Amino acid sequence: MLVPARTGEALLRGAGQVALGDIWGSIPDSARLRKGAPVSVFAAARDVPSKATVRESVDLQSEGMIGVDVREEIETTVRSLIHSRYTRGPFGPETDSIFVGNGVWVPPFGVRMNHGFVPALPLYDSLTRSSRDGQKRLPIAESATLPRCLIPQSLASVAVSHTLAPAPGETILDLCAAPGGKTHHIAQLMRNDGRIVAIEPQEDRLCRMESFLKASGVTIAECVQADGSDWISGSPSPPFDRALVDAPCSSSGLWPKLDWHRLKAESFHELTRRQFELLKTAVREVKPGGVVVYAVCSYFPQETTAVCMRALEELPVALDEEIAPSLAIDGGDVMGFFIVRFRRLSGNVPPAPGQCQSYSSRGASRLPRRTARRRL
């Protein structure tokens, strides 16, 4: 059976079931499968084009309207995507999907996983807290939706904000702010006292971040639509106490993320160029003695040590070793983050050619038309 990337990623994190609606197609089609039949599950890459034929045929199948010709088309489409070492060998063509585990067919619910790279999480009886053998079981929450006061974040993501260590009353620059999780956490650490300028170039992401921060009670953030790599405050002296550069990257540390087609060697040049420009902006806008934190969810040295070594050579910064020992993370299933804390030294950082002023810390009306500035 073939499932989309998001379902495959959930299975690799320990999800125990594939819902019927998440199955793109199967060989043979599910109508021919008996209850309890063994199933191998493959997940398509994130950037595989939407298979409209498969999606529509699954809808027809669920309505009992599928015919022999359509079944053959489904099988052809699914077979074209399932290229793995099990069918093509290690030297076969570039794969469009990967094997994520085995399970059993349980109609009308879908597939119950029993063998995968990560053991499936147990399913608990919603009517009792004890199993038949008398052992206690975890109760199931009444709702799968978190309360609005709780915001999920990985342990490594939380460590980024603690490494920045903002204090109440300070002025903070968040150069790659959307979707706003770290901005929210920074505001919490500041006890909603001070000022945060949150930069995001895309208007739709900016609007969602603004709504999220407002709904979650953050009142100290200014959301600015601008490109952080060529953004300047316009202040005669650096106005910020600390800056966070949670830079766009290959996301190779976000295991498992099934978007391997995006990780091309030629894409790293543009990524690393942008990462350094963002870091350069942060250093220029932070006061001497202030803190700049650079973070990427990547394992690749081009995006981690290489960018930081260049910063140490070309920018007025030094590594800051004053990080709380409580931030040490030992063991556990933690997503991969690279986090470095710099201390701003004295010295100027000239803007790159073509950089334009897009915000004034004194609130002057010199913002260009393309830049949106919102106060929450």
- pLDDT mean over 292-316: 93
What is the pLDDT at residue 203?
94
Domains in the chain: how many in total? Answer: 2
Amino acid type, 286: V
Q: Is residue 192 located within the same domain as residue 300? A: yes
pTM of the model: 0.69
Residue 351 lies in a domain: yes
Q: Are residues 234 and 322 in the same domain?
A: yes
Host domain of residue 62: 2-116
Residue 311 placed within a domain:
yes
Q: Is residue 145 part of a domain?
A: no
| Same-domain check for residues 104 and 15 | yes
Whether 170 is in a domain gets the answer yes
Domain boundary residue, one of 66, 91, 116: 116
Structure-block tokens of residue 70: 């359509």
- Write out pLDDT tens, residues 76-122: 555 555 544 444 444 555 567 778 888 999 988 899 988 655 554 44
The phi, psi pair for 221, rounded to 5°, reads -100, 135
350 shares a domain with 215: yes
Neighbours of 219 (CB within 10 A): 11
Q: How far apart are CA 163 and CA 329, in angstroms?
A: 13
Any alpha helices (H) in 5-109, and if so which ranges?
5-12, 52-62, 68-81
Q: What is the pLDDT of residues 252-278, one digit of tens each?
A: 787 677 776 666 666 778 889 999 999
User: How far apart are alpha carbons 84 and 100 in whole angstroms?
Assistant: 11
The confidence score (pLDDT) of residue 13 equals 76
Tell me what the mean pLDDT of segment 205-221 comes to: 93
Judged against a pLDDT cut of 70, whether residue 363 lies above it is answered with no
Which residue reads 């053959």 in tokens?
A: 72
pLDDT for 68 equals 46
**6 and 74 share one domain:** yes
Q: Which of 58, 92, 116 is the endpoint of a domain?
A: 116
- The reply to whether 352 and 233 lie within a common domain is yes
What's the CATH code of the domain at 353?
3.40.50.150
Same-domain check for residues 105 and 165: no
